[in-house]
Structure 1
């Protein structure tokens, strides 16, 4: 089958279309005919070697599609089911058919288009798990550093739905978007802490960072309790600062709950670009260059 991936660790020049065999589902796996696949920053980081996959490998961490085969030790799924979920080992989704981890898969109803379902496991799933990790109650204030990005957009929506006040750090071009989802937008750069204090005079109860580097270091001091400091963008630095990474709950229950929120219009995954698989290279370049507001989806 035709797939898009990389031949060895490196830059975009290592990407290309591959001719690979259709995989057989192993224990705890589903094989699906892909209807839509999400594009994430983790895809170019995988190509660069951040996750230890040397290649050749097919890119793509999340998909929606139709089950064509079921591996052993799988309950609750059958051939013909419409599902969405995460790919084992964070690879394999940008193809005509892909493996999905059954324990991190859920049924997709007609109320949730495949293009929306395909982007829930990574970004929205991370947003959900971050809020659960932080354990904030209604009335608390959360600072989201990078509120206009792929994870920032769902975390703002989920936090607001749970009664949490959100201060969203974002570039000025994304302030209307962030405010539209109920957050108080503030800009990056000199004077950030003053702007945050003006937006949240009572202080912030937690920080969720999606930027890393000096931007993370700048906002870390806003919380004295470093158990309330999370980052998925800079794991070494957040640990150095006394915070932690997000502990993921890659489960069917989480995905089912997120899909229900999408169906009820309580969560907008913000899919802004749908491209054919033929344009996978261009789609990944858009995400890698940071030129996309919202989520990009590939359709075989």
Structure 2
């Protein structure tokens, strides 16, 4: 079997292929992990498309994947919080490398995997679920307040809805009408963005506006919810800085620490949080897994299982 899946040049899906790079060697602050599962995220195809070239410098060909879970096989210099044989999950070093038999994880952004948490669930926690945790922490909605999540049906939105709902926050979110049942199962009110009369549905669902908005869409998403942006509304966004400034929004900042990942795994283990891994592909179907995410319409999270074979 090939050792990894990645891309040989910046561009579309046609530049993706299986690769056979040498096994990585962990440097200071790194772990070498035998990967059991890897999360598949929109950031992966954006890296391949060259959207992150300005700040993520890669030598091509490069292996895709920003998060993974597996078993430690080697420790880099200065790593003393983990041991060989530990089941772990975390963020891949240098922002790529997770779609592989062996991957490097950054120790300061890696945590031990509880026995109650599957490798596929653990693998999808660092990026989307970690982003949701950071977003809710930065907005700090209190019990009884209202939160509107733009793009609630994706991996980040699904986790953010659960985290806010568990804190006693009244949650609503925009999503495709087809996801109504799924979103409502998270304890949130869905406001379908497709079809006519979105503004009317928005005002009906939130007649008094909202206390906070988590924008996970960018673009024109904030403009579309102007009717519920009242004075004092706290807004966190993934939109570009110019758009953010126009609406008085703040950028969503990532922390992704070992402590955060440990807390997320604890919540999954005791049933308070479900990352909703809806699609698990064997490694040989990595192309199909990324295609599902790149389509822009997955429900919940997508993962690769590197131990599964058809």
Distance between the aligned counterparts of 2:108 and 2:150, measured in 1?
31
Q: 1:149 to 1:118 in 2, by over 3 A?
A: same
Q: Which residue of 2 aligns with 1:120?
A: 125
Q: Which residue of 1 aligns with 2:83?
A: 78
**1:206-257 CA-partner distances (Å, limit 9, x unpaired):** 1111222222321256334687222225555324433122111110110011
Distance between the aligned counterparts of 1:29 and 1:236, measured in 2?
36
User: Contact (CA 8 Å) 1:227, 1:242: kept in 2 or not?
Assistant: no
Of 203, 206, 209 in structure 2, the residue corresponding to residue 203 of structure 1 is 209
Distance between the aligned counterparts of 2:284 and 2:117, measured in 1?
24
Structure 2 residue runs without a partner (length 5+): none
Q: 1:297 to 1:180 in 2, by over 3 A?
A: same
Q: Which residue of 1 aligns with 2:178?
A: 173
Q: 1:202 to 1:221 in 2, by over 3 A?
A: closer
Distance between the aligned counterparts of 1:27 and 1:148, measured in 2?
38
Distance between the aligned counterparts of 1:221 and 1:253, measured in 2?
38
Q: Which residue of 2 aligns with 1:6?
A: 7
Q: Which residue of 1 aligns with 2:42?
A: 41
Structure 1 residue runs without a partner (length 5+): none
Distance between the aligned counterparts of 1:259 and 1:14, measured in 2?
35
Q: Which residue of 2 aligns with 1:90?
A: 95
User: Contact (CA 8 Å) 1:167, 1:196: kept in 2 or not?
Assistant: no
Q: Which residue of 2 aligns with 1:157?
A: 162
User: Contact (CA 8 Å) 2:4, 2:63: kept in 1 or not?
Assistant: yes
User: Contact (CA 8 Å) 1:154, 1:269: kept in 2 or not?
Assistant: yes
Q: 1:225 to 1:281 in 2, by over 3 A?
A: farther
Distance between the aligned counterparts of 2:214 and 2:168, measured in 1?
16
User: Contact (CA 8 Å) 1:211, 1:234: kept in 2 or not?
Assistant: no
Moved more, 180-189 or 58-67: 180-189
User: Contact (CA 8 Å) 1:220, 1:229: kept in 2 or not?
Assistant: no
Distance between the aligned counterparts of 2:231 and 2:38, measured in 1?
38
**1:70-92 CA-partner distances (Å, limit 9, x unpaired):** 11121210110000000122100
Q: Which residue of 2 aligns with 1:294?
A: 300
**1:171-227 CA-partner distances (Å, limit 9, x unpaired):** 110010010110011111543333223222222011111222222321256334687
Moved more, 45-54 or 214-223: 214-223
SS at match of 1:33: strand
Of 181, 187, 194 in structure 2, the residue corresponding to residue 182 of structure 1 is 187
SS at match of 1:102: strand
Distance between the aligned counterparts of 1:28 and 1:222, measured in 2?
46
User: Contact (CA 8 Å) 2:3, 2:101: kept in 1 or not?
Assistant: yes
Q: Which residue of 2 aligns with 1:258?
A: 264
Q: Which residue of 2 aligns with 1:25?
A: 26
Distance between the aligned counterparts of 1:21 and 1:237, measured in 2?
43
Distance between the aligned counterparts of 1:61 and 1:204, measured in 2?
33
User: Contact (CA 8 Å) 1:37, 1:298: kept in 2 or not?
Assistant: yes
Q: Which residue of 2 aligns with 1:276?
A: 282
**1:6-35 CA-partner distances (Å, limit 9, x unpaired):** 111100011101110111111111110000
Alignment of 1:202-221 (within 5 A): 202-220=208-226
Moved more, 77-86 or 51-60: 51-60
Q: Which residue of 1 aligns with 2:238?
A: 232
